[in-house]
Chain A
Amino acid sequence: MIRSQVLICGGTGCTSSGSQALIEEFEARIAENGLSEEVKVVRTGCFGLCALGPVVIVYPDGTFYSRVEKDDVKEIVSEHLLKGRQVERLVYSDIAEDVKDEIAHASLNDTTFYKSQKRVALRNCGVINPESIEEYIAMDGYAALGKAVTEMTPEEVIQTVKDSGLRGRGGGGFPTGLKWSFTAAQPKGQKYVVCNADEGDPGAFMDRSVLEGDPHCLVEAMAICGYATGASEGYVYVRAEYPIAVARLQKAIDDAREYGLLGKNIFGSGFDFDLFIRLGAGAFVCGEETALMTSIEGNRGEPRPRPPYPAVKGLFGKPTTENNVETFANIPQIILNGAEFFNTMGTEKSKGTKVFALGGKINNTGLVEVPMGTTLREIVEVIGGGIPNGKKFKAAQTGGPSGGCIPASMLDIEIDYDNLVAQGAMMGSGGLIVMDEDDCMVDIAKFFLEFTVDESCGKCTPCRIGTKRLYEILEKITNGNGTLEDLDEMEKLCNYIKENSLCGLGQTAPNPVLSTYQRFKDEYIAHVVDKRCPAGVCKNLLTITIVEDKCKGCTACSRVCPVGAISGSVKNPHVIDPAKCIKCGACIEKCKFGAIIKK
């Protein structure tokens, strides 16, 4: 009889920090102590707290161990599993204030990181073994599909999704139920369901986490969508750079077929549905729906003008419903628990929850799922654990290279689709990159633009050439050669690209530039007029100098300088030759007296 379970994260983050070796070590030690009959090791999907990986949770008490190393396993097995004593030094200890006094041990759900979260799309991630269809079924898996095909008409399914208020989680936030109804309204015949799992924004990894942690959820949701819209085939377009996700999804599809949850006559209802994976080569433009479908068809991934919309003429010219992974991940819960379960969470126009991938200058790098309308402050300061090294929050970039930044003055903004758009940012797929006072906003805009220049497919001129010229202007500014006229030109070009590009990639590419220019105009002006980078990032605008009074003449800086730019004799103040200095900052790190400054 199993009395305890050890859950070990097998997501990409924890796998790369060594969780596979942990699993083997746990199994060996458990066997060594004769506990194999009592304790079971389960490899799960992502728990969300990637910064602290590898993560191990021991149930039934729910003890949460972080940064576990192979050498720690012996102690956990002999102390916790055998004798029931937590290994205190490994227990993640950031316990929420309000329960601090009540609980003696650190259970996962009591940590600040998890306490404010509400998990719908991620509800099984880190809880079940993603490679076990039976564990998924035990958590009410496929019950929603069963309910839909045996008890509901396709119209009722669509109505439920409409009533739930679910909007597309991939970017634009189009109402999902409405999208489904467009495809359903097309004449009977071959139709398709497509899942966009081509997650390409820098810093976004929520779709990967669902695919790795709860792949059956996607299979079930796509089958429900097929039933509702009259489609009998589905395709998941997933990037080849997600090997763990691809393998688990394939296993999920194979198992579902074997259990008769995909294939002919599902639940004896006469409904047929099957699912296939298509691998993408990692082109950002293939996240655009028409380019994605062109790529599935076997052609070069380029977008085409809309209309006709995919609902009318999509994959292989047939009516097609396309949603992203996170959108689908909400569907089974909505069907099973009803529209009200979902539409009672969130704000007036944005219902339910949203997953964010926290990255950048933040303590708890990882995945969080919160109700729509949660403030940015709560996500950054409470769940995210604040900014490392006591630095000040400067801005958060949402929506990746298509989005914009939210400055510190807007920290109390309630995050939903419409509030973000009103601030010149966008939800995007939910990447949330936090920046602190050491980040230069011009440089950030340049970074995102460099990405879109790279990823522009080249089909339309405004995007292909426009983004390149825009990038050149930013380069000129960060090099210290920019003029005020350049700033005007930059703004004009941004708007031109937005208005004239063919697809979403080009239409949103200038957003990071526009939004940083709007919010941090003074930084742009400083670069152009004062030839100065306030954050101290843009190398050409920096000078590194030694403060004469503080320098003790220890020679540490001159020894570390890679280009021999620092001269001076022992116990006398040193000087930097600006002509030789490459501004690498090595001397600043080395100086014990804080005598070297950059400005």
Chain B
Amino acid sequence: MKSLAELAAIKEKMQSKVVLREGSSDIRVVVGMATCGIAAGARPILNAFVEQVNKEGLSDKVMVTQTGCIGICQYEPVVEVFEAGKEKVTYVKMTEDKVKEIVEKHLKGGKVIEEYTISKV
């Protein structure tokens, strides 16, 4: 090891891999992954979230995880966003394009995209 910069580079590279285990995220994105959700295409949604969150460098702030059936099967795939001190936001009929937008505007910009939420369908 020649310099601190070299060490920092390895740290940077590896951080996204271990940050999953920190569990101190401010925001939790929960994807409904019961049979109904998976059948409606929740799996690519989950992976798209993981990918986008990492790409935007949000992995230390946002935890992407899965849950069972939320109970509104007709709206699957369903994604809920939990943030400390704020009301939870439920996005429905998710697509990969919506994921990109939600990560960009909501998770990064802090602005809920009302038209994708359950209250608008």
Contact = CB atoms under 8 A, between A and B. Distances in A.
Interface stretch (B31-39, B93-101, B103-111, B113-121): B31-39
Given A1-B51, A150-B4, A59 B38 contact: no
Interface string B1-43: 1111001001101110110110101000001111100100000
Contact of B34 (A84, A138, A261, A266): A84
A134 B51 CA distance: 21
7 contacts: A2-B20, A3-B47, A4-B20, A82-B33, A135-B17, A137-B7, A143-B7
Interface in A1-35: 1-5, 7
A260 interface: yes
B17 A259 contact: no
Contacts of A107: 23
B10 A267 contact: no
Interface residues of B, number: 33
B63 A60 contact: yes
A59 B23 contact: yes
A254 to B, nearest CB: 15
A333 B88 CA distance: 37
Interface in A156-196: none
Interface in A253-268: 259-261, 266-268
A543 interface: no
B90 interface: no
A84 B66 contact: yes
Nearest to A35: B43
A202 interface: no
Contacts of B4: 143, 146, 150, 267
A261 B7 CA distance: 10
Interface in A83-108: 83-85, 107-108
Contacts of B66: 83-84
Given A1-B51, A84-B68, A62 B7 contact: no
Given A85-B68, A138-B11, A138-B17, 19 more contacts: A1-B50, A3-B46, A4-B20, A7-B21, A59-B23, A82-B33, A83-B66, A84-B31, A84-B68, A85-B67, A135-B14, A135-B18, A137-B10, A137-B11, A138-B10, A138-B15, A146-B4, A259-B1, A267-B3
Contacts of B23: 59-60, 62, 107-109
Contacts of A56: none
Contact of B10 (A59, A83, A84, A134): A134
Contact of A261 (B1, B14, B21, B32): B1
Contacts of A261: 1
Contacts of B1: 142, 146, 259-261, 266-267
B112 interface: no
Interface in A128-157: 128, 134-135, 137-140, 142-143, 146, 150
Contacts of B2: 260, 267-268
Contact of A83 (B13, B18, B50, B68): B68
Given A127-B21, A259-B1, A260-B2, A60 B64 contact: yes
Interface residues of A, number: 36
Contacts, number: 96
Contacts of A108: 23
Contacts of A143: 4, 7, 11
B94 to A, nearest CB: 15
B54 A1 contact: yes
Contact of A5 (B7, B21, B33, B46): B21
Interface of B: 1-4, 7, 10-11, 13-15, 17-18, 20-21, 23, 25, 31-35, 38, 46-47, 50-51, 54, 63-68
A128 B17 CA distance: 10
A4 B64 CA distance: 9
Nearest to B18: A138
A57 to B, nearest CB: 8
Nearest to B59: A60
Nearest to A86: B68
A134 B13 contact: yes
B4, B18, B25: most-surrounded residue (chain A CB, <10 A): B18
B100 to A, nearest CB: 14
A84 B67 contact: yes
B21 A3 contact: no
A438 interface: no
A463 B57 CA distance: 63
B14 A137 contact: yes
A61 interface: yes
A62 B23 CA distance: 7
Contacts of A135: 14, 17-18
A38 interface: yes
Contact of B50 (A3, A59, A62, A134): A3
A95 to B, nearest CB: 15
Among A82, A83, A109, A142, chain B packs the most CB atoms within 10 A around the CB of A83
B20 A38 contact: no
B22 to A, nearest CB: 9
Contacts of A140: 11
B38 A83 contact: yes
Nearest to A149: B4
A95 B10 CA distance: 37
A84 B70 CA distance: 11
Contacts of A134: 10, 13-14
A517 B109 CA distance: 69
Nearest to A256: B1
A268 B33 contact: no
A442 B64 CA distance: 57
A267 B50 CA distance: 35
A268 B68 contact: no
Contacts of A267: 1-4, 7
A307 B1 CA distance: 39
